[in-house]
Structures are given as C-alpha cells and as structure tokens.
Chains A and B, each alone.
Chain A
Amino acid sequence: MKFDSKFWIIAKRDYLSVVKSKGFWIGTFLIPVIWLLVVTLPGFLMVYFWERTEMKVAVLDKTNSSIGKEIVKADSNVFYLDNSNERELNAKILNDELDAYLLIDSQSIKNNSVTVHTKGGGGIALIEKVENVVGKVFRKHLLAESGLDTSLIRQIETETKVNTKKVTREGIKTDYSSFYSFFSYFAGVALFMLIFIYGGLVMRGVVEEKANRIVEILLSSTKPFDIMLGKVIGLGSVGLTQIFAWIVLLLAISLISTQIISLLTQPEPIAQSFVNEFNINSQVPKQFEIPPIPAEFVLMFIIYFLLGYFLVASIYAGLGSTVDHEQDAQIIITPINIIFILPVFLINIISANPNSLLSTLLSLFPPFTPVLMIARLGSSTIPLWQPLLSILLMLLFIFIILKFSAKIYRVAILIYGKKPSFKEIYHWLRKA
C-alpha cells in the first residue's frame, strides 16, 4: 500500500473533515462528562430517594409489647404511635388526614408479616421503608426473646464482608473484583457506543456522497473499493484520535486526582446518610482508591474498537450505498443493529461468570466479540489464547463482510430513486 494511493487521499479528507471541526473537540471533552453523569446519576438518585418517603405512618400496636415504640424509635420521621381504633384510622385516611397506618397484632411477629393500610398506591418507597424498619425490629425482637446477648445480635445484624485477593506469580494481591465488574460493564457499553457512533459516521458519509453525486467524481478517479476503504479507514482514525485524546485526558486527571479524591472521601451529608441508611459502614473503605487499569486492557480496548468498528463500518458502508436518504438507511440497518446490541444485554451475565463455557463461546462469536471480550477481560483474567482466537475469527469475518459489502457498494452506489429489497441486494451479491 503506497502512501499516495487513492484511498489514503480519501481517508485523509474524511479524517480532516471531522478532526478539523470544532464540534469534534467539544464532543471529545463533553462526552466523558455526560457519560459519567448518565452512568452515575440514576444510581445516585436511586440511593438518595430510595426508602425516602414523605408520608406519615401511624402505628397501631395491639400487642401490648414495645414493638410499636421500637418502630417509631427506628424512624420517628415517618412513624408515630396512634392509639385510636381501626375505624377512626380508616376515617382519617378517607379524609386525607393520614397517609397510612400499620397494624401490628399478636400474629404479626409469629407470621413475620405486617399490614399497611393506605388510600391506595403508597408507592414502592413506603413499602421498602416499612419492610426494612419493621423487619429489623422484628428480627431484633425475636433474637432478644431467644435470650441472645445484645453484642452478638449486633454482630449478626451486620453484613458479611467479602475480601477478594488474587493469587499472582508475584504474590497475593488485592483483587478489586466488584470495581472491575462495574468497570467492565462500563468499558463494554462504551466500546459498543464508540463502534456505533463511528460506524454511523461511515454510513452518513456514504449516503452523503451518493446523495450529493460526489461519488461519481470519485468513481471517475479511483476504484469503488478504494472509496469505501478510504472512508472506513479515515473515520476509524478519527475514532482512534478521540480514544487517544481520552487517554491523555484520563492520565492528566489521575495526576491531579489525589487531592480531589481526598476531598470526596470527607464525610459529607449525602454520603453519610447513604452509609447510615444501609448500615454498611464496614463496607466503605477508609481510603478510597481507584485500582489500576492495566495497559494491556487499554491496548485490547483499542484493538477491539478497531475490529468492531471495521466490522460495523463495512456493513454500514455496503448497506448505506443502497439508499439515497439517511432515513432509509436507518430502516435498512435496523436488523443488523439488533444483532450488535445483543451483547450489551449479555454483559451482566458474562461478567458475573466470566470464565464459564457459555461466556467463552458467546465472546468468540464475531459480532459479540468486542463488547463481550472486553467485558470479560475487564472483570477477570482469561487465558491468552481466547482473545487471540477471537481476533483471528473477527479478522476472517471482517474479510468476508468487506468482500460482500464492496460488491453491493459497486452496484448500488449509482442506482438512485428506489429503495432496494433484500432480495435485490442478494441478487447483486450473486451477480457481482
């Protein structure tokens, strides 16, 4: 491949047309911020608002024990003792004077159940609240009745902490399993999005050149295959540029992050209430630390981006050439997208059990490979032959797809005015 061959010229134009634009650089810096918000905000809001109810719940205790009082003590913002009878409480609810009441009788503890009366639809938060508070009180009560020591009870109440260590040739090391499984999910989804953003650019470019008739001038200067490959390589390089920009950004941030992280780990109201509510004090590490992301992982991320992108982009370029409007293109690629989006839904299953046979097989299926392999690599240590085999399989698959796409592209790029059927595309494949 000479550097002055035609497809380099096309690749260069496509590369510069994106990289020179302000939008690209604004996007490069904004995407991580937006991405971080999208990933963390729902979880954060969930934690904050979960179990938070503004309702007032009356506790009607018919047991003559301290259970009612203990419930109120556990959360006096929500619960209060009420000694009226059920009829009066029902009336209060109907008159909107009361949101809900809780009925505890002699059977409640025995059956470990409790009834909440509302006007209907108290919301999940209320039920969660009641379940959590009442459950805790009941358990404590039962344990106390059995005559156990209070310190023992407290110990039972706390959750078991699992420390993970990994055995390496260099010795026993801390294994950040839970961090890495979250990280692998993050990386898999990010990879999927990158592949589709850049694959989409290729398709838009092909359709634009066709709709603007520029392709005719290109065809009078070079081969259809060069035009297609030039576009795929040019826009893929844009993707690489963006990934490198993010790596530089990440390194810069991690250099100045030590101070920021120490600030973040100071007790602050939200974090504190998070800790209180879940009683998970023991689980929050004293020193917050980001485990290292190995360089090999970054390298594999880039390799799988390139492979996945090449695969998607060659399919998109071929199919894009068959339509003259972007809207039509969206319709024709939908079946393809469904196949490629599947692995995103499989990430959770895979990273829960990264080394199972099913995980291995699924991650070796070329359309699934980039997302699933990166998820497995992120969450576990997998034998080297598997990524190597997956790369080989993908290269083979890309080669076949590229050949098909080039055939379709060559015929379809100059046909205007009608949407082709899949039958026609098949016919072109046979004919070419």
Chain B
Amino acid sequence: METVKLSNVTKSFKDVVAVDNVSFSMQSGKIFGILGPNGAGKTTTIRMIAGVFLPDSGEIRVFGEPDIEKVQSKIGYLPEERGLYKRMKVIDQLIFFAELKGLPNTTARANALKWLSLLDAKDWENKKVHELSKGMQQKIQFISVLLHDPDLLILDEPFSGFDPINVEVFKNVLLDLKSAGKTILLSTHIMEQAEQLCDDVCLINKGKVVLYGSLSDIKASREKDTVICEYNSDGANSIELRNVKILNQTQNRIEFRFDRNNFNLKEFIKEIADKVEIKKIEISTPGLREIFIDEVTKVKL
C-alpha cells in the first residue's frame, strides 16, 4: 500500500523553483530516504508532505487523502531546524505537542513519561528546556514526534546534532518502529546512513528527482566496478594505481573504482599479491554516495 504519493509536485519561492515536477510514492512499513545535497529541495518536499505548506501544483496524497490536514494526527514530523519553547518544562512541552496531535491530556502524559524513561531522560521531566544541553533538546524533540504513535514519521535530517551513541539509539528506535509496521520518511545528505537504514530512496538534485527506487534494485543495476582491498603492509611496498578513481586509501586499505576498458582487474590482483599480503578483496557495486555523484554529474553533462 502506498502511504505517500506525490504526483508532479512543483513549488517555487519567488523565482526559484525549489521542487520541480517531483513524483514518487512510499510503500507502507518501509523506510524511505530522500537524499540530496544541501539546497536540493529535500526540506521543501518534506514540508509539503507534512502539511506545513501546500504545493503550487501537483498532488500529494497521504494515506490516500489529498487534504493532509485531515490526516495530520497520524503524522509525526521532525523539522530540520529543531524548535522548543525555551522557558517551558520538558513534560509540559511534550504534552502540548501530543495534545496538538489529538491525544487526551492523560494519555499524552503517560506516553511522555514512558518515552522519557525509555530513552534515559526521566530526570529531565521537570527541567525547563533552556536548562538542557543541545543534544538533550534534540532528544526531547525526537520524543515529541513519537508520543501520538504516528503511522507515518517524517524526519528531516533526524541524526544531525546527535553524538554517535545517540545516533545508534535512534537508529534502533527507527528500526523497531519499522518492524511495528510504521512508515518512515527521512532525509539526509549522509549517504552511509541512508544505506544502512533505507529500503527505498529518492535522490533529488536541484529540485528534480535524479534517481528513485528500492536501494537493492538501484545497486543491482550498477556495474561491479568498485574494489575494496584490505592487506598487511609494512609501508615500504605502497600500491600505485593508474587509470582508476581512488575513493579511499589508508596504509592497509584501498577502495577504488575502475573502468573495464582500460583496467585489467586480474593483472591488478596478481600484481598486488606479489607486493603485500592480501587479507580481503571485495569487488562490488559502488556505494550510494558514488552512485549519487555519478547521477548528478551525468545531469550536468
């Protein structure tokens, strides 16, 4: 079932076309990633799906409903720029946001307390927001999205501002929600995060969709032109490569892409085996980041 469906959606601000004829749909129970560089139109797309503003043209249906206002209580939205009332108590704030989503006061309070203790934030209940650190505020904001148990979560750059430990905590929260059947839309410009979490992705650049589909399909359609090789080296026999695009090179690891026309993989393996002791060699499709760069540069040409 399609939880979200965009058809030919366009939105401009003054003379800048922020979102240009975008169409895609999101399957329920999956994690969908909107990817793209800064200023690509991710946030504008997301805001329209969250019902923050309307598209100039085209149609957005959420849960099959073209009037998003009617389904807003089933959506949890985490904006890119986080915002809380500075002088309000954490618990009051959480209840307020949940009440706005239609939860009765008592349920809102119970859910807020449940999530606070679940995420090790029980002590902050009666603190005012300005007394909390930035990371703590992020956590509160994240909780505020979950309180009304939304079927669709819309998260704009959800991990920005979190330390690595909390990134892991919230990744697990998202995976749990997914197994509970929730649909999750997230935007990020960090491709590695998307690769770990997303089932489907949509790459946006300059307001246009450049690539869209399930992550596994996208990867399967690519040539296996990426080599990751790990080895033991004393540093004396450094590896020199010609006619390849090196993605990453450290003392004991190299990652590169090659072009079959002017690169002989077998030769390379033979050569490298003479020089160093190979621990692992992997020939695979390129990562999402590489795919994205390919697509964007292709558009430019």
Contact = CB atoms under 8 A, between A and B. Distances in A.
Interface of A: 6, 9-10, 13, 17, 208-209, 212-223, 414-415
Given A6-B100, A220-B75, A213 B82 contact: yes
Contacts of A9: 96, 99-100
Contacts of B85: 17, 208, 212, 214
A231 to B, nearest CB: 12
Contacts of A414: 47, 52-53
A219 B84 CA distance: 14
A219 B52 contact: yes
Contacts of B73: 221
Interface string B44-75: 00010011110000000000000001001101
B83 interface: yes
A112 to B, nearest CB: 68
Contacts of A13: 96
Nearest to A216: B79
Contact of B52 (A209, A214, A220, A415): A220
B77 interface: yes
A216 B52 contact: yes
Nearest to A219: B52
B84 A10 contact: no
A220 B185 CA distance: 15
Q: How large is the interface on B (under 10, 10 to 19, 20 to 34, 35 or more residues)?
A: 20 to 34
11 contacts: A9-B96, A17-B85, A208-B85, A214-B84, A217-B77, A217-B144, A219-B52, A220-B75, A221-B72, A222-B69, A414-B47
Contacts of B84: 212, 214
Most-contacted residue by chain A among B50, B51, B52 (CB, 10 A): B52
Given A9-B100, A221-B100, A221-B101, 11 more contacts: A9-B99, A212-B84, A212-B86, A213-B79, A213-B83, A216-B77, A220-B52, A220-B154, A221-B73, A414-B47, A414-B53
A366 to B, nearest CB: 32
A121 B82 CA distance: 64
A10 B73 CA distance: 15
A316 B55 CA distance: 27
Interface in B166-188: none
Nearest to A415: B13
Contact of A223 (B69, B144, B154): B69
Contacts of A219: 50-53
Contacts of B144: 217
B87 A220 contact: no
A220 B83 contact: no
B50 A17 contact: no
A289 to B, nearest CB: 46
A209 B93 CA distance: 13
Given A9-B99, A9-B100, A414-B52, A220 B77 contact: yes
Contacts of B77: 216-217, 220
Given A9-B99, A221-B101, A222-B100, A216 B72 contact: no
Contacts of A222: 69, 72, 100
Given A9-B99, A220-B72, A220-B75, A213 B52 contact: no
B124 interface: no
A217 B72 contact: no
Contacts of B110: none
A222 B50 CA distance: 11
Nearest to A220: B77
Interface string B237-253: 00000000000000000
B120 interface: no
Contacts of A415: 13
A216 B83 CA distance: 8
B97 interface: yes
B72 A213 contact: no
Contacts of B88: 17
A168 to B, nearest CB: 52
B267 interface: no
Contacts of B79: 213, 216-217, 220
A21 to B, nearest CB: 8
B142 to A, nearest CB: 12
A414 to B, nearest CB: 6
